[in-house]
Amino acid sequence: MKRKIPVLITFVVGSVLILSVFFPPIETWGEDFSIFFDIIAVFAFFLGGGNLLRIHTKKAIKRQKDWGFSIVTVLGFIIMLIAGLFKVWNDGGIAGDVAAPGSLFQMMYNWIFTPLGATMYALLAFFVASASYRAFRAKNVGATILLVASFIILLGRTPLGTYVTGWIPKSLSIFNIPDLAIWIMTAPNLAGQRAIMIGIALGVVSMSLRLILGVERTYLGVDNE
Partner 1 sequence: MAVTKKISLLILAIVIVLFAVSWIAKTGTFEDTGMPLGLSVRDGFLVTFAAFLTLSIFSFLYKDNPYYKFAEHLFVGVSAAYWMCVGFWSTFVGNFIPKVSEGLSNFFEVPYKGFDVFYFIPLILGIMLLLRMSSKIGWISRWSLAFIVGTTAGLNLIRYMRSDFISQVSNTFVPLVVDWQGFGAFFSDLSLNASGQLIMTMSNWVIFIGVFCGIIYFFFSKEHSGFFGGASKVGIWVLMVTFGASFGYTVMGRVSLLVGRLTFLFHDWLGLIN
Partner 2 sequence: MMHKLLIVMCLLFIAGAGYVSAEEIPDSLKPALPSDITIYPDSGGNVAVIYWFPSADDGAGKNIVTGYALYRSPSPKGSFEVIDTVPPGPNRYIDFLPIDTTVVDSGAPFSPAPVTEVTLADKDNDHGHAVIVKWKTSADDIAGSPSNRVLAYNVFRAESQSGPYLMRGQSASGDTQYDDVGSKEREARDYMPDYTDYYYIIRTKTIEYHPGHKDYFYIVRSITDNPDNYRETSPLQFDGTIYTDSQVYGPVQCFGQWFNSGLIPVLIFVICFTAITVFMIFRARRGAELFVRRLAGIEAVDEAIGRATEMGKPILYVLGLGTAAEIATIASFTILGRVAKKVAEYQTGLIVPCYDPIVMTVAQETVKASYMDAGRPDSYDENMVYFVTQSQFAYVAAVNGVMLRELPATNIYMGKFFAESLILAETGALAGSIQIAGTDEIAQIPFFVVACDYTLIGEELYAASAYLGREPVLLGSLKAQDYAKAAVMIIAIVGFITINLNWDWFVNLFRVAN
Partner 3 sequence: MSNLGLIISLLIIGAGLLWLLIRSLQGKEVERRIIFLFIGLAVSVPLLFNITFSEKATPIVKALYDKIDNLPEGSNILLSFDYGPTMAPEVQPMSDVLIRHVLAKNHHLFLMGLWATGQSLGAEAVDRIIKGDFPEKIDGIDFVNIGYKAGNQGVLNVIVTDFRKLYATDVGGRDLDSLPIFNGIKSLKDMDLLISVGGGFPGVKEWVQFAGDPGNVPTGGGSAAVSAPLLYPYYPRQMLGLMGGIKGAAEYESEFKRHYERFKDMPEPGVKMMGPQTLAHLVIMAFIVIGNLSYFFGKKGKQS
Residue choice 116, 145, 164, 190 for contact with partner 2 (CB under 8 A)? 116
Q: Kindly state whether residue 21 participates in binding partner 3, applying the rule CB under 8 A.
A: no
Are the CB atoms for 51 and 57 separated by under 8 Å? Answer: no
Whole-angstrom distance, CA of residue 120 vs CA of residue 113? 11
Nearest distance from C-beta of residue 150 to partner 2, angstroms: 9
Are the CB atoms for 29 and 17 separated by under 8 Å? Answer: yes
Whole-angstrom distance, CA of residue 201 vs CA of residue 191? 15
Q: Kindly state whether residue 53 participates in binding partner 3, applying the rule CB under 8 A.
A: no
Q: Kindly state whether residue 40 participates in binding partner 1, applying the rule CB under 8 A.
A: yes
Q: Per-residue b/e over 137-168, b at no fewer than 16 CB within 10 Å?
A: eeeeeeeeebbebeebbebbeeeebeeebeee
**Cβ-proximal residues to 26 (8 Å cutoff; 6+ apart), any chain:** 16, 19, 20
Whole-angstrom distance, CA of residue 94 vs CA of residue 222? 45
Residue choice 26, 100, 107, 162 for contact with partner 1 (CB under 8 A)? 107
Q: Stretches 6-14, 53-61, 76-84, 123-131: which one binds partner 3 (CB under 8 A)?
A: 123-131
Q: Stretches 1-9, 131-139, 165-173, 178-186: which one binds partner 2 (CB under 8 A)?
A: 131-139
Q: Kindly state whether residue 102 participates in binding partner 1, applying the rule CB under 8 A.
A: no
Nearest distance from C-beta of residue 20 to partner 2, angstroms: 10
Count the Cβ atoms, other than its own, within 10 Å of residue 104. 17
Whole-angstrom distance, CA of residue 212 vs CA of residue 13? 8
Are the CB atoms for 220 and 8 separated by under 8 Å? Answer: no
For the segment 44-63, give every residue that binds partner 1 (CB under 8 A).
44-50, 52, 56
Give the number of residues in contact with partner 3, rule: CB under 8 A. Answer: 44
Nearer Cβ to partner 3 (68/101): 101
Q: What angle do CA 210, 211, 212 make, to 5 degrees?
A: 95
Residue choice 125, 141, 215, 222 for contact with partner 3 (CB under 8 A)? 125
Where along the sequence are the contacts to partner 3 (CB under 8 A)?
28, 30-31, 34-35, 37-38, 97, 99, 106, 114, 117-118, 120-121, 125-126, 128-130, 132-134, 136-139, 147, 150-151, 154-155, 157-160, 182, 185-186, 189-190, 193-194, 197
